[in-house]
Amino acid sequence: MVFAAGVYSPEELASWGLIGRVTAAKFAEGGAHVVVTDVVKAAAEQVALEIAKKYPDRALALEMDVTKEHSVKEAFEMALFSLGGIDVVFSNAGIATSSPIESMKLEDWTKSHAVNSTGHFLVARESLRIMKDQGLGGAIVINASKNVTAPGKDFGAYSAAKAATAQLCRVVAIEGAEYGVRANMVNPDAVFQGTQLWSKEIRENRAKAQGVEPDKIEDFYRQRSLLKLPVYAEDVAEAVLFLASDRAGKTTGAMLPVDSGIVGAFPR
């Protein structure tokens, strides 16, 4: 089991993506051996140690920069050497940049695509190669976003990169099918708790784009949904586990919203 997880935030190790952290723990709880990866190895080690407290010898931490081809390849080779095989990959790395198109810096656009699109390509490509060689099938789950189907104002770099990743997932599903490899995506929205993705700056920028005060942004996102319920990392983790399991053994190329019901984001 490999997790390409984290939020690409070396400044603050404690902010290691809660979605990746919770999902890794859920898989370990289910009996999986988990490889936790992050661009900052200490962040991955923090998560692996938490898992090891309950499930000894069940988690391995590796450094992996999803924007670097050699880093992804080396991490997968080490995971394969350590585990003997890879059954499931959860590709979860992501960053967010908020800016109107007219004032967006090219470096922000480029970095967003490097992590939110190219990073998922490199992870998916390595996963597909290994699973094909193993001849045992497998499951790839990509953390896409509600922005795939419903992009946001002043969120062009993120929305465009995630849309590219969604199309990538569909092509992986097409090409992986003859080898028994399934590829699906989860589309969460507004998971505020425990993630550096929603930094103070992003909260302020998104609040400005939506015309609300920064301290009201969480309630704004909750109230705009049909169910008017907050979305937590645990909710996303359950969706990932389902798509990775035999319960979804006949599902591939699909997206599963975890957004409390955003009408504009209905898959169509």
Give the pairing type, strands 255-258 and 181-188.
parallel
pLDDT at 212: 73
> Which of 67-76, 170-179, 190-199 is least confident?
190-199
**Residue 167 in domain:** yes
Partnered with residue 90 across adjacent β-strands are 3, 141
pLDDT, one tens digit per residue, over 34-76 is 999 999 999 999 999 999 999 999 999 999 999 999 999 999 9
How many structural domains are present in the chain? 1
**Residue 240 in domain:** yes
Q: Domain with 144 in it: what CATH number?
A: 3.40.50.720
Q: Is a pLDDT exceeding 80 seen at residue 15?
A: no
% of the chain residues with pLDDT over 90: 75
User: Model confidence at 206, in pLDDT bands (50, 70, 90)?
Assistant: low
Token pair in block for residue 111:
């970095």
Does the predicted TM-score (pTM) go above 0.85? yes
- Asked whether 218 and 170 are in contact (CB, 8 A), the reply is no
Range of the domain at 185: 2-194+232-257
Q: How far is CA 209 from CA 164, 201, 261, in A?
A: 23, 12, 21
Determine the Cα–Cα distance for residues 100 and 103; give it in Å rounded to an integer: 6
Determine the Cα–Cα distance for residues 93 and 5; give it in Å rounded to an integer: 5
Q: Is a pLDDT exceeding 50 seen at residue 16?
A: no
Determine the Cα–Cα distance for residues 93 and 118; give it in Å rounded to an integer: 11
**Residue 210 in domain:** no
Q: Is a pLDDT exceeding 50 seen at residue 10?
A: no
User: Model confidence at 169, in pLDDT bands (50, 70, 90)?
Assistant: very high
Determine the Cα–Cα distance for residues 266 and 213; give it in Å rounded to an integer: 27
- Asked whether 186 and 143 are in contact (CB, 8 A), the reply is yes
Average pLDDT for the chain: 89
**Residue 245 in domain:** yes
Q: Which helix (H) or strand (E) holds 22?
A: helix 18-29
Q: The tokens 């099918």 sit on which residue?
A: 177
**Residue 183 in domain:** yes
pLDDT at 9: 45
Active-site residue list: 158
Give the amino acid at 76: F
pLDDT, one tens digit per residue, over 215-263 is 767 777 778 899 999 999 999 999 999 999 999 999 999 999 999 999 9
pLDDT at 235: 95
- Asked whether 62 and 112 are in contact (CB, 8 A), the reply is no
**Residue 209 in domain:** no
**Residue 147 in domain:** yes
**Residue 7 in domain:** yes
